[in-house]
Amino acid sequence: MFWIVSLPIAVIAALIVAAPLMRRPAAALPASANDAEVYRDQLAEIDRDRASGLIEVDQAKQARAEIARRLIAASEKTEHGGAGLSRGAALGVILFLCLFLPAAAGLIYLRTGNPEFPDLPLAMRLNEADPDINVLIAKTEAHLVANPTDGRGWALIAPIYMRRMRADEAITAYRNAIRYQGGSAELYGALGEAIAAQNQGMVTKDAGAAFTEALKLDPSDARARFYLALAEGQLGDKAKAIADLEALAASAPSDEPWQEIVAAQIARFQAETANPAAPGNPSAADVEAAAGLNDADRMQMIRTMVESLDARLTDEPANFEGWQRLIRSYMVLGDPAKAGEALKRGLAAFPADTDNGKALIALAREMGAPMEGATP
């Protein structure tokens, strides 16, 4: 049915386009001949104006010279005629438009088209291996401007914002998804994670509240349990944080992908317990102060802490956790150039062929930091 309708339409359209080529040109006077007559009239008019004293001799000469030049050019065009297509060339163009072009379009469509195929849902397009993400984001944002209460749309775009390091917009999107679609452990956990990312990894009161809501809905939610334990450690209770993380690790199979992260965090808190003044560890006072600031002041405080960490690592480069934190911090702050520089400096302390060096490279690659000069 599709081909029965589409092929005649294509041929008719091609014939309409080709129709002017099939007509013989009218034996009308060329446009250039008309132009020549106009220029001759203008010359005569200049002579009349000169005779009546309306223009000076020099002005008349200049005007006659210019019009004479145009008259000569128009006369030459009249003698040589217009440059139209020959009959053979016109026939070739007609065959191309009416036969070859529709046939080529049909062959291409047979390989790539399917009139019965339904529209691909936005959720599937967002999850394609290589989607045109900028186009999809723009379309989704336009849809949400027109439909601001579409909770599902907000839930779809929020993780895209997070993957592109747009934590502020991700937070707004997750909150709208919860408001219009209803809360779930997944949405509350993702919201808390976005707030923590916005605050350079610190689990603020707002982030903690989101994770607490996630646990109310799903007491076994591993992400919420992890971040709430992290909050305990950031507030200074390392022993409770370690105990909570160990309980989390024991509650799930050892092959869970997040087990390595939990183990690394346990080791970090244990190291901080042994050396509480290690560079890069925010104090309980730092976390408490950041929680009470507005967004601009909190961001400035975070930048100051990162710059302080950077300076301290220059004096004390043998701090693996500090380099990890510095690379991650610069990427969260949207400064990949400084993150790449931190990676180079970290690899000077922990060469790329060591376990710590490989871990720094893996972190930088995961965060999307520049890898120039880094070798795994």
CATH of the domain at 298: 1.25.40
The length of the chain, given as a count of residues: 376
Tell which wins on pLDDT, 115 or 139. 139
Q: According to the model, what pLDDT value does residue 124 have?
A: 57
CA distance 152 to 37: 72
Q: Tell me, what amino acid is at 35? A: D
Categorize the per-residue pLDDT at 31 as very low, low, confident or very high, splitting at 50, 70 and 90: very low
Least-confidence region, from 246-260, 274-288, 304-318: 274-288
What proportion of the chain, given as a percentage, has pLDDT over 70? 60
Tell which wins on pLDDT, 237 or 68. 237
DSSP string, 84-126: ---HHHHHHHHHIIIIIHHHHHHHHHHHH--TTPPPPPHHHHH
Q: In the predicted model, what is the mean pLDDT of the chain?
A: 75
Q: How far apart are the first and last CA of the chain?
A: 58
* Number of domains the chain is built from: 2
Average pLDDT of span 164-178 = 90
Q: Is residue 103 one of the residues assigned to a domain? A: yes
260-282 pLDDT tens trace: 888 888 887 787 676 554 455 55
> Where do the DSSP E strands lie in 195-339?
none
Query: What is the model's pTM?
Result: 0.47
Residue entry with tokens 């220059």: 314
Categorize the per-residue pLDDT at 238 as very low, low, confident or very high, splitting at 50, 70 and 90: confident
Of the ranges 42-51, 80-89, 241-250, 251-260, which is most confident?
Answer: 241-250
Q: Is residue 254 one of the residues assigned to a domain? A: no
Q: Is residue 247 one of the residues assigned to a domain? A: no
Q: Is residue 170 one of the residues assigned to a domain? A: no
Domain carrying residue 321? 292-376
177-225 pLDDT tens trace: 999 999 999 999 999 999 988 887 788 889 999 999 999 999 999 999 9
Q: Is residue 173 one of the residues assigned to a domain? A: no
Average pLDDT of span 67-73 = 68
- Judge whether 208 and 176 are in contact, CB under 8 Å: no
CA distance 310 to 322: 9
Q: According to the model, what pLDDT value does residue 234 have?
A: 80
Q: According to the model, what pLDDT value does residue 172 have?
A: 93
pLDDT score of 29 more than 50: no
Q: According to the model, what pLDDT value does residue 28 have?
A: 43
Q: Is residue 48 one of the residues assigned to a domain? A: yes
Least-confidence region, from 32-36, 222-226, 338-342: 32-36
Q: Is residue 345 one of the residues assigned to a domain? A: yes
Q: What angle do CA 326, 332, 335 make, to 5 degrees?
A: 80
Using a CB cutoff of 8 Å and minimum separation of 24, what contacts does 311-316 make?
312/279, 312/280, 313/279, 313/280, 313/345, 314/345, 316/279
Q: According to the model, what pLDDT value does residue 91 have?
A: 67
Q: Is residue 318 one of the residues assigned to a domain? A: yes
pLDDT score of 82 more than 70: no
